[in-house]
Chains A and B, each alone.
Chain A
Amino acid sequence: MAAAVKDREALQRLSFLFQAAHWVLPHSPALARFYSFTQRGAARRLVLRLAPSVKRMVCRRCCSLLLPGEGGGQRLRGRGQPRTVLRCRTCGRCRRFLCHGQNWDGPVLESRPT
């Protein structure tokens, strides 16, 4: 899989940026925001996919890294259809995710460890 090898370096870079942003967060959220911004820009340039769990940790508007403790408040709302509401503290943007019913592992796309 030649395509995988080419992107592997890029994916490593993305992963490194993501982890670095986590490490830096307590010291300066601005730097974490810069890292996430670079990560998103790199992914966009090379058209690489990010896992939904990764995407949720980064705010869409301001690109700041959201941790459940610092940055993003998370609440459960909704009686009929329970959903989590993730709120970015810096820009105040809300994201809503449905809590799917039981026995739900991931979206329709299957992932096979090959």
Chain B
Amino acid sequence: VIQPGTATLRKAKKITVKICLDNPFVFQWKTIEGEDMHFILQTLEERIKHVGLKKIETPRKKKRSPRKIQTESKCDASTSKLLKKEEEAEGHRQNPGWTDISIRRQLAIGVNEVTKALEKNELLLLLVCKSAKPAMITSHLIQLSASRATPAGQVPRLSETVAPLLGLTSILALGFKKQSDKFTEVVEAIIPKIPALEVPWFQYRTEESMAYAHTDSSENHKPEQLAEALEDELTSQKRKRTESNQLDLSNVILQPLKIKKLVPNPNKIKKPPRKKKKAFS
């Protein structure tokens, strides 16, 4: 037992490595190619400018005027009577809020709105910004959208391009609802560009699971055989069970065990151990 006073003499403490179970599933967004990315961004920009959807906030008066002038110059084609139109538009647009509510309803803007709409199966297409920090705030969308079989794509600069167009500070998720009439062309143009998402346990996509089965053959055999043997026994013994209860386990791929080894941080700030004062005893 070494006294605390002599702690500085010994250098390296024996660092125990702790082992913990790591999550075997890893969800990653698939990278969209540069051309497709630009195409998506451009189509979105054009569409939004064309529609003229914008949100105006009252408390920030300083930033309003340059933004308004810009939007008017972009949206209004005829710039003959600028002054009069500006005054009229100012009077019209001083009401805080969105310029067009009906269009606003066709979009789900923001992560929470997108998740709500996804849970209700209302979305046709989903676009996520890649520059989210921390990445955890958008990672749940991958699984959600895969479960609803909704195409979802991650575009790096979504927030930078779309947010100023709409008058918001940042957009991390954007969803197009199923009833949108103005955005259907955009949606149909973008959908084929987005690669499909991989989520192993949803058997909606049999093609992907077949590809998996071909690649990992060594790991599959044992669990598959066990599963099939079990299934056969069950079917022979209990015939009362309807077929819906039998699971389709032939496509199951057991992920290899993922272990995370934790090494306690050497720079960890430890509280100085309290010395029990026995001076008064």
Contacts and interface: CB of A to CB of B under 8 A. Distances in A.
A111 interface: yes
Interface stretch (B65-73, B152-160, B249-257): B249-257
B239 to A, nearest CB: 19
B115 A49 contact: no
Contacts of A82: 137
Interface in B1-30: 17-25
A7 B24 contact: no
Given A54-B21, A108-B268, A67 B147 contact: yes
B133 A25 contact: no
Interface stretch (B53-61, B90-98, B184-192, B259-267): B259-267
Interface in A70-114: 70, 73-76, 82, 84, 99-104, 108-114
B137 A84 contact: yes
Contacts, number: 117
A24 B247 contact: yes
A11 interface: yes
Contact of B254 (A3, A14, A16, A73): A16
Nearest to B252: A23
A30 interface: no
B141 A68 contact: yes
Interface in A39-56: 43, 48-51, 53-54
Contacts of B258: 15
Given A11-B257, A14-B21, A15-B257, A102 B262 contact: no
A111 B261 contact: yes
B46 interface: no
Given A25-B201, A73-B115, A76-B137, A15 B21 contact: yes
B97 to A, nearest CB: 20
Interface residues of A, number: 49
Given A11-B259, A49-B20, A68 B144 contact: yes
B136 interface: yes
B266 to A, nearest CB: 8
B228 to A, nearest CB: 15
B119 interface: yes
B219 to A, nearest CB: 12
Nearest to A114: B261
B270 to A, nearest CB: 11
A111 B254 contact: no
Nearest to B22: A51
B268 to A, nearest CB: 6
B146 to A, nearest CB: 8
Nearest to A83: B137
10 contacts: A7-B19, A51-B20, A68-B141, A69-B144, A99-B134, A99-B136, A103-B133, A109-B18, A109-B264, A112-B263
Interface of A: 1, 3-4, 7-8, 11-12, 14-16, 18-19, 22-27, 43, 48-51, 53-54, 57, 67-70, 73-76, 82, 84, 99-104, 108-114
Interface of B: 17-25, 111-112, 115, 118-119, 133-134, 136-137, 140-141, 143-144, 147-148, 200-202, 245, 247, 249, 252, 254-255, 257-265, 268
Shortest Cβ-Cβ A-B pairs, 9 listed:
A49-B20, A69-B147, A68-B140, A102-B133, A53-B23, A68-B144, A109-B262, A69-B144, A51-B22
